[in-house]
Amino acid sequence: MTKKMKRRARAILCGALLFLIAVLVKELHLIKNTNVQIILFLAAYLVTGRDVIKKAVRNIRNGQVLDENFLMTIASLGAFLISEMSEAVGVMLFYQIGEFFQDYAVNRSRKSISELMDIRPDSANVQRGDEIKTVSPEEVRVGELIVIRPGERIPLDAVVVKGESMLDTVAITGESVPRRVSEGSELVSGCINLNGVLTASVEKEYADSTVMRILALVESASDKKAESENFITRFARYYTPIVVGLAAVIAIVPSIVTGAYTTWIYRALSFLVISCPCALVISVPLSFFGGIGGASAKGILIKGSNYLEGLARAESVVFDKTGTLTKGSFSVTKLLPSENLLREAKDETEAEEQLLYLAALTESFSTHPIAVSILEAAKERGLLKPHGEDRPLISEVNEEAGLGIRAQYEDETLLCGNKALLEKHDIGFPSPEALPQTSGTVVYIAKGDGFVGSIVISDELKSDARECIAGLKSLGLRPVMLTGDRRETAEGVAGELGVGEVYAELLPTGKVEKLEQLLSEKKRSEGKLIFVGDGINDAPVLARADIGVAMGGAGSDAAIEAADIVLMTDEPSKLLQAYKISKKTLNIVKENIVFAIGVKVIVLLLAAFGLASMWAAVFADVGVAALAILNAMRALK
């Protein structure tokens, strides 16, 4: 409980005790002196209402006259003037109770945000010479070595150079399962080292680290208001002077006509208390704040409530391919030995391993991504010796630009590359029907003058990509793919995922032009187009889309900066979670607006005709606000 909440709780308890004593003294005639009764009620009123009165006076001085503090003060003082002392104190007491629950709700909704703020590291152990010094993370420079001990929070983005451990990444990614890291693994600042000691080389300065980017995004999220919040601001601007004017009319006109001043002033005061738009002013921003907090706990950072609201109105979701729906790293997906190799080997597995071994030997000196994927596949199967001890078996390695690699092995020529390489060296191919029909990259291998097989290398789909596309389609959203990749590759990936609309071979400018076209095709004026991407070339499209969503783990800094929503785990299926959170939050906001305005209108009409007492006014103000706040807190879950 905060200091403010404790102070308010003390005021409520003291005020309630004084109020109870005053009521007992008056009703049971324990003290017949009227002045003593007034003093007891006045003491209870000042204890419970002091903060409200001070705020009203301060706001009047600052030119903010017509707010809920002014309405509460004038209504309660007016009740004193017409000798309704118990109702005057009751109005303040129950208002303070309502405010206490509001503080509790805001405090609760801030919990996930404050937990997120705890990811800020306090210090870093930096290795300088033979010493390890504990310094502020801001003092560590790129390239320096830091030591992270068990239980410590990773202070900066870095790469492990020594050691292995398990990391708790839940604060950054929302993923509850610990992640294993070892030499060469990337470390994200804000995660917690669970067991082993790690030595890592710093990749980014503290100001550019993941943890600081996250904190900056969360801290700035409240600056961007949703349309619903702007509606409340506009509503209150016109609503408050109107109800004050109506209250004045209710107090003056009927009093002059009927002469029943006390009756009509009481009704006007009840009208003023009822008119306070607390439920709207408090619960709507609180709902959005809760939605943003709940999303951040799941590794989804939303930069403003306007984007949270816009997400619920999504109509189309446009995806980049590489690094967004696919892993962005090549891997061997098929090994297709030739018929001759299959006949020579004792079984298909041995033939596949012979094919992969020959390809790995040929590519062992290359750093091309395709070569790296072949070498990784060979290592996984244990076909290569450690530390490149197989390399002496290969000689006269020549890379033929745009074609592949030619090398000598056991007095025979090895070829590993595209179809044109083998054609150049007069290697015969099997029939076209026997060659792989695939959207991936095909590497052909020959030994001597004979074709020995082909290897298909593909950019793997992310494990949850199919789930993401299927989920979006089930929600009635239109998935689209924009990519710079070859048409065959793009259409192959789209076919696997079930994306029916694909635009391939696009440069960054072409992506923006195509996005403009898709924006013009929206069916509803309020419908939103979402773009999901991860690369530097996606930044212009992310900025142009109605809502830009970036992959926060592997995504580029430019993409994350340009995006409105960041998925910290690089899982496209998180978009489904974000969409559902936005839908739930918007439903809660609508419920609160309809409920608050509906009850207000009904009780205002009753008060104007004398059918609602000051106590009904208290319920209409504090009760409706409390119920709306409790409803808003559902957005946190």
Catalytic center residues: 320
Query: d(Cα 504, Cα 487) in Å, to the nearest integer?
Result: 5
Burial class (CB in 10 A: 0-12, 13-18, 19+), 273: buried
> Locate tokens 């239109």: which residue?
478
> With contact defined as beta carbons under 8 Å apart, do 375 and 363 qualify?
yes
Nearest to 222 by CA among 288, 128, 169: 288
Query: d(Cα 292, Cα 300) in Å, to the nearest integer?
Result: 8
3-state secondary structure (DSSP) of residue 595: helix
Q: What are the tokens at 552?
A: 């926060």
Query: d(Cα 201, Cα 141) in Å, to the nearest integer?
Result: 10
Kindly list the distances between the CA atom of residue 126 and the CA atoms of 120, 131, 139, 487, in Å, as whole numbers in the listed order. 17, 8, 9, 49
Q: How many residues in the chain?
A: 637
> With contact defined as beta carbons under 8 Å apart, do 455 and 374 qualify?
yes
The neighbour count for residue 481, using CB atoms within 10 Å, is 24
Query: d(Cα 155, Cα 142) in Å, to the nearest integer?
Result: 13
Query: d(Cα 470, Cα 567) in Å, to the nearest integer?
Result: 19
What is the SS3 string spanning 552-592? CCCCCHHHHHHCCEEECCCCCCHHHHHHHHHHHHHHHHHHH
Supply the Cα-derived Rg of the chain in whole angstroms.
35
For residue 573, the one-letter residue type is: S
